[in-house]
Structure formats: structure tokens, C-alpha cells
Amino acid sequence: MTDGMSRRQALGLGSALAIAASAPRRVRAQAPARPKPLVFAHRGCSARRPEHTLAAYAKAIADGADYIEPDLVITKDGVLIVRHENNIAETTDVAGRPEFAGRKTVKTIDGQAQTGWFTEDFTLAELKTLRAIERLGPVRPESQGYDRQFQLVTLDEVIDFTAAEAAARGRSIGLVPEIKHSTYFAGIGLPLEDRLLATLGAHDYTLRHPVEIQSFETANLRYLRGRIGRSANIALMQLLDEPSVVPADVAAAGGRTTCAQMATPAGLRAIAAYADTVSPWTRMLIPLDAAGRLGKPTSIVADAHAAGLKVRAYTFRPENRFLPADYRDGAGENARNEAGSVAEIRRYLALGLDGFFTDDPALGRRAVDGD
């Protein structure tokens, strides 16, 4: 016996220790690295080219956007065309076209009276005679310099263009189409949802590459979920407007649920039943204080993640006039402030965003990649 242990036991223990010492050590498994936040080109590179033109999308893709955004409205003859609103007074040269002077009218869209020219009053052939202009005019002089150079494009054309760019660059480029004014268009007999699904299904590219369909309304996303189920490549994104806003479809049905209520933990869980992603206005995530500076963050990002939703925020813009007071420089309201924009985006990325929309994807890329 040796200190209460037999020689055989001692030899056995020594052998076991020797084997243990020679065996490779177990390394504690590390959590997988969190994917980089995705850069969504808001209306293309709309800070530097007229929005929703192939030029804006080309610049966005060249600058490293992961997704490009075509907003969808419709023509008189039922074609999905890419514009931010159906009122094209501010984004085309229609006001200077005497042949269309008689088309100017007043309509109520999503509860708001508007004066202008509307896509549903034009055929595609007529709209193709118009040219895009910069919405913000002298605020964006570089983009304004391209006024009247580019035509309006259809969703089909944007998909083909994206497929060509993806092939040329050897990388996948996602599409994030937004359905505009869904309830309004359905009310005039021109619903968008089935046309969108048919268009996506008609292109090999959108059958295989990432697509996120977004809307500020809710009923159309629920309808789409019923149509597509849990698709391998198509996700649904619920946009949230300013806190007091009631989505147009909810208001039309007599409901009163606001975007602030939709952004509560219970509201986010309800969204997760039909959508994959929630996209709030940036100031819902970090509100501005009385001095116009970024204040205390809300819990929306954490609450959305707890509900199983990814979070994209919108929209970052590089001019001083759009930045929080603490990120502006002294170059003037309309001056580009690249450093301030990158710093603002990084402040929001620290909340754990999965992606974000920016008018200037090159700055978004810089914010994500740390350049």
C-alpha cells in the first residue's frame, strides 16, 4: 500500500494521466461571428444620381451595396414601374411637357390630398417619354447635374440590370422592392401584389437570389406570406413610419394601431407572425433630444431580436441638414458631410442592426467595413 493506494492503482492512475496529457485539449466552442450588417441602397445611390434610375442603381452597386431598392407603383396599362410615389411631379420633367398638361389633377392618396401627375393615368409608353430629375434640386447638385438624362424603368428592367451586374461582378446583389400605396391601388382596380410575385417568378435571377419585399402597410404582407409561405429566398419586411402614424390599410379599415404600438414587444411579436424583418425609422431607435442631438436609445432592436425579427433601419443621408446636430460640421446645411454620416451610422450599428438603408452606399460600406 502506498498512502492508501495499491501499486497497481498508482500505475493505472499514472497511465491515465499520461494519456490525458497527450490528448488534444478541448477548446470551448465560440459563438459564430455575427454577420456584417447589410447595406441597402435607398432608391439606388440617390445622394449622387437621380433616384430610381439605372444610373443610381449602377452607382450603388459599384459602391458596394448589398441590396438595391426599387419602389413600385403601376401604370394605366398594369405595368410595375419604379418610382417612390405614383405622383411624379417632383421626380420627372412631366411639369414641363405641354402634351401632358391636361393630366394634372388632385387625388387623395393614403388619406392625403395631392396635386400632380400620377402614374396610373399614363401608359408605360407615355411614361417612357419622360426623364428623371433630382427630387431635392440644389441640395444635391451632383445629382441635379444628371437631370433629364435617364428614363423611367420598369421592375423587369431593374431585375435584368441587377442580374447583369451580378454576373459581371461575380457576387449576388439583393433586391428590396417596396410596394407603395397598396390599399389605394387595390381600390382603383390595380393591385400590385400578384403582379409583383408574377414578375419575380418570371426571372431566373429572382428565383435564386435574395429578395426582401417591404411595405408600410400590413395586410399586403400578410397576404404575401399566405401566398409564398416561408420562401428560401424571399423575405418580408415590415416598415414602421413615425410613431404617431397609423398604416394606410389599418386606417382604411377603421383601425387605430400606430407605429409606436407596433414597435412594442407585443407589437413586434405580432409582426413576427407574418414578417421576417422590421425596419423602423432611425429616430424610433435613437430619438433626438431637445437640442437635436442623438439621445438615449430605445429597446426596439433588442425587443425585435427577442421576437425573432431582423432589424433594418432607414434612412441615412450624408448632407448636414439630415444629420443630428452633434454630427454636423460648419460647411452649411446642404454640404455633404461624409465623416458625420459615417459616424452617425456607426452609432446606430452599435445597437445591433442587421442592416440599414442609406442614400450613399459608399459611406454605408465604409461604416460597416471600418475604412
Q: What does the pLDDT average to over 156-168?
A: 98
Model confidence at 5, pLDDT cuts 50, 70, 90, reads very low
Percent of the chain with pLDDT over 70: 91
Q: Residue 33: what pLDDT?
A: 72
* Per-residue model confidence as pLDDT tens digits over 233-250: 999 999 999 999 999 999
Please enumerate in sequence order all residues whose Cβ is within 8 A of that of 332, keeping only pairs 6 or more positions apart, or say none. Answer: 320
pLDDT range class, residue 351, cuts 50, 70, 90? very high
Which amino acid is it at 296?
K
**Angle 219-228/193-201 helices, nearest 10 degrees?**
40
Cell of 183: 390599399
Look at residue 31 in the predicted model and tell me its pLDDT: 56
Taking only the tens place, the pLDDT of each residue in 9-37 is: 433 434 443 333 444 445 455 556 779 99
Tell me the pLDDT band of 129, cut-offs 50, 70 and 90.
very high
Each residue's pLDDT tens digit, 311-323? 999 999 999 999 9
What's the mean per-residue pLDDT of the chain?
93
Signed CA dihedral, 297, 303, 306, 312: sign only: negative
Over residues 190-200, the mean pLDDT reads 98
Report strand pairing: 234-240 vs 277-280. parallel
Find all residues with CB under 8 Å of 295, minimum gap 6, and list them: 286, 287, 288, 289
Cα 52 from chain centre: 14
Q: Is the pLDDT of residue 325 over 90?
A: yes
Please give the domain boundaries of the chain with CATH numbers for all domains: 38-86+153-369 (3.20.20.190)
Q: All 3 cell numbers of residue 326? A: 452633434
CA proximity to 274, closest of 337, 355, 214, 348 = 214
Closest CA to 271 of 317, 323, 306: 306
The answer to whether the CB of 80 falls within 8 A of the CB of 217 is no
* The predicted structure's pLDDT at residue 152: 98
Q: What is the pLDDT of residue 29?
A: 54
Identity of the amino acid at 192:
L
Q: What is the pLDDT of residues 257-312, one digit of tens each?
A: 999 999 999 999 999 999 999 999 999 999 999 999 999 999 999 999 999 999 99
The rounded distance, in Å, linking the Cα atoms of 151 and 339 is 33
344 within 8 A of 285, measured Cβ to Cβ: no
Instruction: Specify the 3-state DSSP secondary structure of 274.
Output: coil
pTM value is 0.90
Q: Which residue has the higher pLDDT, 5 or 98?
A: 98
